[in-house]
Amino acid sequence: LESGAKVDALDGHEGTLLMAAAMSNAPRCVALLLHEHGAWPHDKNQFGRTAVHYAARWPDPRALALLLEAGAEVDTDAKGNQ
């Protein structure tokens, strides 16, 4: 990001950096993306999943708590309800 990457850049599955941080159980990265770079916690990838879907898979609740504090939706279905 310091080199000019966009916080809302998408990967091949329409995933964001915030989703990748949540998927990797990296609460410090989640916090940095949300608070310092303005990442949008509501984006969905091509599977209909948000960062919340990925953060909720981990027993460590810190990334999920950060997303919820940022107003991320919890009542959203992924495609296929997976």
∠ at Cα 58 (48, 15), nearest 5°? Answer: 30
pTM of this prediction? 0.84
pLDDT at residue 79, as a whole number = 65
C-alpha 29/C-alpha 35 separation (Å) is 10
Residue range 36-79, pLDDT digits in tens: 999 999 999 999 999 999 999 999 999 999 999 999 988 776 66
Nearest to 16 by CA among 80, 69, 58, 67: 67
Question: Does the pLDDT value for residue 3 go beyond 80?
Answer: no
